[in-house]
Amino acid sequence: MADIAPLRGVLYDPSKVDLAKVIAPPYDVIDAAERARLAELDPHNCVRLIL
């Protein structure tokens, strides 16, 4: 039987990063242009993880 373990969530430390630059709306409500704009805000923006 397979062993199943939970994934560790990604948490940003607000004392080290501007949250406005690393969070994004759900992937299915942004278009390619908005995704590109969000990705340019910070190299750690969450759109790089989910899209």
Q: What is the pLDDT of residue 50?
A: 66
| Residues comprising the chain, all counted | 51
What does the alpha-carbon distance between residue 37 and residue 12 come to, in Å, rounded to a whole number?
A: 20
If we measure between CA atoms, which residue out of 5, 44, 51, 3 comes closest to residue 25?
51
The pLDDT of residue 5 is above 90:
yes
Task: Give the tens place of pLDDT for each residue, 12-50.
Answer: 999 999 999 999 999 899 999 999 999 999 999 999 986
For residue 4, pLDDT over 90 is answered with yes
Give the list of residues 6+ apart from residue 39 with CB closer than 8 angstroms, or none: 45, 47, 48
Q: Which long-range contacts (CB under 8 A, 24 or more apart) does 23-27 make?
A: 24/50, 27/51
Looking at the predicted structure, is the pLDDT value of residue 51 above 70?
Answer: no
Instruction: Tell me if the pTM is above 0.75.
Output: no
